Amino acid sequence: MSTKTFARVAMIAAIYTVLTLCLAPISFGNFQIRISEALTMLPLIYSPSIIGVTLGCFLSNLIGAMMGLNPTGMIDAVVGTLATLGAAYCTWKLRNVTIKKLPVLSMTMPVIWNFVIVGAELAFLMMPENVMLGTLIFGAEVAVGEIVAVILGYFLNKVFIKTKIFD
């Protein structure tokens, strides 16, 4: 990895972490609009961002748990990070599959991964008596915020393409 790529990856991780922690009241829990998740659209245009977004998610969840901001605690540092890694990787792999020039399948990856994995995590922690129902409820709540972040991320990518920041 070149120094330039390493610096970009580190900046992505830092921006993700700062956004998540500064907006902690809306970044954690079952009703969350994690604005930093807009960065999960970066793999559409810059594959090393997979590492940056994953690292940023890990740091956010870990620091959030240590500071008492993340109600799911340390488990989210592992489970939530795996959801982000899977989503970012699938976003990158499906980037060339388009419908009317729109990478719809890629854009659904963060929504689906977070619905299933974070929804199940929240269900296991908050509704252990009925994990399946909890996954559907909490997953849907998380997915709503994720849709907002993904749309924001798509338009943010358009700005990044125009500015050629990742060329």
Q: For residue range 99-123, what is the model confidence (pLDDT) as tens digits?
A: 999 999 999 999 999 999 999 999 9
pLDDT at 29 over 90: no
Quote the domain boundaries for residue 79: 3-163
Q: Could you tell me the CATH number of the domain that includes residue 68? A: 1.10.1760
> What's 161's DSSP letter?
H
Count: domains in the chain: 1
pLDDT of residue 119: 97
pLDDT of residue 30: 83
User: In degrees rounded to 5, what are phi and psi of residue 107?
Assistant: -70, -25
Q: For residue range 117-129, what is the model confidence (pLDDT) as tens digits?
A: 999 999 999 999 9
Residue range 51-76: mean pLDDT, rounded: 96
The upper half-sphere exposure of residue 3, i.e. CA atoms within 13 Å in the direction of its Cβ, equals 0
pLDDT of residue 45: 96
Q: Tell me the C-alpha distance between 16 and 6, whole Å.
A: 15
